[in-house]
Structure 1
């Protein structure tokens, strides 16, 4: 269970990282929309686990590797934005959020089930 402090800090990081990706993310991920779906922060606020979702891309794993390769640059830009609010800028760990893919698979399964002919109930 996250403390209120962790949740507030995660919200600040999520908001500021979203602006970083919106303004400067096209430099390393052109024509790709990056969404920060969730941020989890460790109790000591030293590590932020950032879950990303990518749109308009064929290989999300490659995009995640690209973001991870630029983690130092992204952390620096985040630090420039939140330097007056925090003592130390947390290390950033990026993860792929595949929730949308899971939802799409489940929708397809439910559609398939609903299209199958129903068998009469036996009494």
Structure 2
């Protein structure tokens, strides 16, 4: 990925956090954290990785709400970041947080079981 794509991604991450948190009033959208934005080298597509607080239903509802607001979000980004063409936005869940939590749980379970065998 180019340096420019990285810079655009970082700028978009900052702006998206503000737009989603303050500008969108869709009740389906829960507490969202934008964890990363990966922009293609040609600046055509931006994959926005999000983390949502809540259960699977809340996560799905949030994704639907964001999909509905995609046009508005893209136009807001276009006004805030000076680019010839605003990248197409794709929202995806950041699975790395869930993966990290799962590993942490497994480590705690292993530690608990090894403490019991030492007794």
Equivalent in the alignment of 1:20: 19
| Conservation of the 8 A alpha-carbon contact between 1:48 and 1:92 | yes
What's the TM-score once normalised by structure 1's chain length? 0.82
What's the TM-score once normalised by structure 2's chain length? 0.85
Aligned residues: 115
Q: Which runs of 5+ in 1 are unaligned?
A: none
Q: Which has the higher helix share?
A: 2
Equivalent in the alignment of 1:70: 69
Deviates more, 1:37-46 or 1:60-69: 60-69
Deviations 1:54-104 (A, max 9, x none): 12x32212211221122111111222222xx21111110110112222121
Pairwise CA distance, 1:48: 0.6
Q: Which runs of 5+ in 2 are unaligned?
A: none
Equivalent in the alignment of 1:112: 109
Equivalent in the alignment of 1:35: 33
Secondary structure, in 3 states, of the residue corresponding to 1:51? strand
Q: Give the one of 86, 94, 99 matched to 1:97.
A: 94
Q: Give the one of 80, 84, 87 matched to 1:87.
A: 84
